[in-house]
């Protein structure tokens, strides 16, 4: 028998039993569930990552749906347990679902939700922040000051990179990659960085190209050097030409260790590499060695290959900035993710259709109106034959 897991209960007499494996930001997601007659149980175990056994204990004998986290292993065992308990819905509080065996979910008829459409700007902002911090060596300088080592101005003290007029490279120009590119070309200031853009993506980003073109024309009309854009024919072209490179691909067999010993060797010696996408896109062992051999090469990482662990040596590298997977960690975004995850589960429980566009979720986030009667994003809706909302 599974060991009992500590929980906090909301609306104990609710008709539908929903479990959340973690406490999540905000209270709107809680209220939306209990207003629809759900008994909500929130795990309060003092463990960062729950085991499969812990989650089985939470599911119990009767469970209509689960809100889970990307640190959990949702495969055959958990979907079998959820199905046996009568559950038909699971949602990650994340846009990614590499931790989920969707085929296993399909086998047991469980809808799998995720939370796109609410992370774009927040994630792009962190990628831009890491780019700036790496370029101007801010973390190194902060540590230098805190250690009491500063005894006066010196001409060579923490000399970094000027971004203006340099080339920013984007690998994966989807929503987040394009938002990051726009910030680096024309950020939310009077001037912006005026960086040129080179990007690689399987699909042409026409909107992004038009944005950079229009800004270039504006600069030229005002007597300044216009910014330019270029769609690269290969990822290698981006790596060779860009001064700052930000990774925004999906993680699959083709992008595993996309950045490795060979690709790192093609980059500029003083390049800056940013990864806020998925940890295994970068070969961390190769990266550590490259950082050792190239002290002016700098990296900013929000995700890691074997999260929550870093490969040996990475944490000691002064030319690496490492943060604990906080790209989506703005209050608005995290509360929105919690709301979308809860509504994914609620929608399946209530028999609602699936929202027609998972990237246009503003109606679900408007706190001044009831959310649409739909599940915001179900990744296996087609496989399960779920109806799509006409709203």
Catalytic residues: 278, 307, 325
Backbone φ, ψ for residue 98 (5° rounding): -65, -20
* Residue 171 and residue 150 in contact, taking contact as beta carbons nearer than 8 Å: no
At residue 210's C-alpha, the angle toward residues 209 and 211, to 5°, is 90
| Sign of the CA dihedral running 193, 218, 222, 169 | positive
Backbone φ, ψ for residue 294 (5° rounding): -130, 85
Q: H or E stretch including 115?
A: none
- Buried b / exposed e along 111-133 (16+ C-beta atoms within 10 A): bbbbbbbbbbbbbbbbbbbbbbb
The separation between CA 87 and the C-alpha centre of its own chain, rounded to angstroms, equals 27
Question: Which residues contact residue 391 at a Cβ distance below 8 angstroms, ignoring those fewer than 6 apart?
Answer: 355, 356, 372, 373, 374
Report how far residue 22's alpha carbon sits from residue 18's, in angstroms, rounded to the nearest whole number.
Answer: 12
Cis check: omega of the bond before 308, within 30 degrees of 0: yes
SS (H, E, C) 319-340: CEEECCCCCCCCHHHHHHHHHH
């Amino acid at each position: 028998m599974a060991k009992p897991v500590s929980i906090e209960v909301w609306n104990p007499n609710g008709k539908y039993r929903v479990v959340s494996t973690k406490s999540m930001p905000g209270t709107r997601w809680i209220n939306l569930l209990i207003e629809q007659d759900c008994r909500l149980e929130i795990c309060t175990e003092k463990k960062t990552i729950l085991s499969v056994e812990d989650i089985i204990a939470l599911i119990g004998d009767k469970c209509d749906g689960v809100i889970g986290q990307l640190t959990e292993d949702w495969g055959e065992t958990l979907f079998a347990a959820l199905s046996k308990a009568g559950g038909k819905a699971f949602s990650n509080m994340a846009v990614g679902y590499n931790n989920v065996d969707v085929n296993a979910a399909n086998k047991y008829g469980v809808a799998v939700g995720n939370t796109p459409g609410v992370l774009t700007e927040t994630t792009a902002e962190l990628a831009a922040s890491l780019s700036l911090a790496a370029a101007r060596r801010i973390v190194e300088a902060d540590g230098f000051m805190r250690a009491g080592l500063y005894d006066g101005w010196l001409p060579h003290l923490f000399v970094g990179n000027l971004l203006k007029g340099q080339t920013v490279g984007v690998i994966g120009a989807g929503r987040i990659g394009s938002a990051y590119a726009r910030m680096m070309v024309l950020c939310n200031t009077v001037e912006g960085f005026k960086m040129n853009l080179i990007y690689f993506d399987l699909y042409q980003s026409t909107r992004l190209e038009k944005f950079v073109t229009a800004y270039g024309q504006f600069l030229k009309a005002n007597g300044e050097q216009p910014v330019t854009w270029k769609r690269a024919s290969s990822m290698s072209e981006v790596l060779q030409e860009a001064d700052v490179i930000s990774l925004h691909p999906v993680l699959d067999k083709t992008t595993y260790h996309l950045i490795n010993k060979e690709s790192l060797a093609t980059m500029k010696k003083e390049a800056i590499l940013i990864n806020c996408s998925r940890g295994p896109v970068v070969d961390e062992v190769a990266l550590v060695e490259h950082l050792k051999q190239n002290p002016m090469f700098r990296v900013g990482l929000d995700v890691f290959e074997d999260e929550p662990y870093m490969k040996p040596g990475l944490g000691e590298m002064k030319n690496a900035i490492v943060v604990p997977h906080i790209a989506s960690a703005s209050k608005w975004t995290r509360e929105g993710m919690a709301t979308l995850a809860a509504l994914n589960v609620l929608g399946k429980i209530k028999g609602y259709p699936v929202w027609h566009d998972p990237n246009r979720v503003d109606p679900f986030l408007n706190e001044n109106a009831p959310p649409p009667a739909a599940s915001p994003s179900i990744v296996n809706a087609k496989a399960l034959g779920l109806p799509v909302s006409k709203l």
